[in-house]
Amino acid sequence: MAQPDSADLPPRVVNQRQTSRKRTLLGGKVVYGDGQHVRDCTIRDLSETGARIAIAKGEVIPTRVFLIDRRVPIAYEATVSWIKAPDFGLAFLRVHSLKGDLPPELDYLKRVWSKHCVPLGGTPV
């Protein structure tokens, strides 16, 4: 049996991350469609520049989303950089504090945080 030509092989996967990711098991929310869609997720890895999340089997998300870590009032504006369902790799574009002022078009993120993420006994932002 002949060996495949190297041109026929898929490219090697190389870790090209600039920062290391920390393995986690955190609850999160994926938000898109101006807050019309809020999906539960599990944050499996997290770094300053991105995250690996898992969503329910069979669910999909668009290429541009916000990720909210349920522990802290921060929304990560992100793009989906890879998919291996049910896992999705996110690359962070911007970080938005949900405690301070947001552009008016992102105010819905504060409502999502208050409704879905505020820990018991915590205070909404």
Residue 99's domain is classified under what CATH number?
Answer: 2.40.10.220
For residues 98-103, give the mean pLDDT.
Answer: 90
Check pLDDT > 90 for residue 97: yes
Does residue 94 lie in a domain region? yes
Is the pTM higher than 0.85? The answer reads no
Check pLDDT > 80 for residue 53: yes
Does residue 81 lie in a domain region? yes
In the chain, the number of structural domains is: 1
pLDDT confidence band for 10 (50 / 70 / 90): very low
What value does the mean pLDDT of the chain take? 84
3-state secondary structure (DSSP) of residue 94: strand
Task: Give the burial string for 5-33 (b: 16+ CB within 10 Å, else e).
Answer: eeeeeeeeeeeeeeeebeeeebebbbbee
Q: What is the DSSP letter of 56?
A: -
Burial of 113 (0-12, 13-18, 19+ CB in 10 A): buried
Does residue 2 lie in a domain region? no
Check pLDDT > 90 for residue 49: yes
Q: How far is it between the farthest Cα atoms of the chain?
A: 67
pLDDT of res. 106: 95
